[in-house]
Amino acid sequence: MSKALFIVDVQNDFTEGGALGVDGGDAVATGISAFLTAHAGEYAVIVASRDWHDSTGDNGGHFHPEPDYVDTWPAHCVGGTDGADYDPGLDVGAVTHHVKKGQGRPAYSLFEGTTDDGVTVGHLLDEHGVVDVDVVGIATDYCVRASALDAIEHGRHVRILTDLVAGVAAETSEAALAELAHAGAELATSGA
């Protein structure tokens, strides 16, 4: 039985100073790097996702000049820009697969993305016999939540490393973690 690590959207636009920066984003980036130094060998697959939106158009209604910050957002993570790059505190040397999601439409779960050669995350998990998935990244209440729920729906045992996630807001992040636990995810810390 194999394990996978999902590193969700640890990008400049989602860490401090970015278009949709969350408090604690930089600390999550460096925390994940430290975790990988100690634990990368425990994972058969390490998938890092990035929002990768088109520079033109509204990306299927995802971008809006007057965003509601629920379903619509200011422009962020436009492919090829600094905002779409990984946070400099995140060492991606151990990442086995890079996934881009969005690309002209709203996308929250890393299951909605593909590698540059078109491979889906579901296929990667099946190919490597992955049963257990650990999830870290940004934002707890959006893309981490969606990715973890999809992993559960795909029949995987999911563990959220709560010290290696950061959310948009405390209340919605707590609600997301409670929802994930109710759906069957295990809430743990990276030291456990």
Q: How far apart are the first and last CA of the chain?
A: 19
Query: 9, 13, 87, 132: which is the annotated catalytic residue?
Result: 9
Q: What is the pLDDT of residues 163-186, one digit of tens each?
A: 999 999 999 999 999 999 999 999
| Alpha-carbon span 72 to 111, nearest angstrom | 20
Architecture label for domain 2-188: 3-Layer(aba) Sandwich (3.40)
Query: 13, 26, 101, 150: which is the annotated catalytic residue?
Result: 101
**Catalytic-residue membership of 101:** yes
**Strand order in 186-188's β-sheet?**
97-102, 45-52, 2-8, 130-138, 157-166, 186-188
Mean pLDDT of 6-23: 97
**Catalytic-residue membership of 77:** no
Tokens of 105: 């439409």
Q: What is the pLDDT of residues 27-67, one digit of tens each?
A: 999 999 999 999 999 999 999 999 999 999 999 999 999 99
Question: Which of 6, 190, 3 lies closest to 98, judged by CA?
Answer: 6
Mean pLDDT of 141-148: 97
| Alpha-carbon span 180 to 187, nearest angstrom | 8
Percent of the chain with pLDDT over 70: 99
Local confidence band at 125 (pLDDT 50, 70, 90 cut-offs): very high
Q: Are 41 and 169 in contact (CB under 8 A)?
A: no
On the question of pLDDT at 1 being above 80, the answer is no
Query: 3, 132, 134, 143: which is the annotated catalytic residue?
Result: 143
**Dihedral pair phi/psi, residue 179, rounded to 5°:** -65, -45
CA 127 and chain centroid, separation: 21
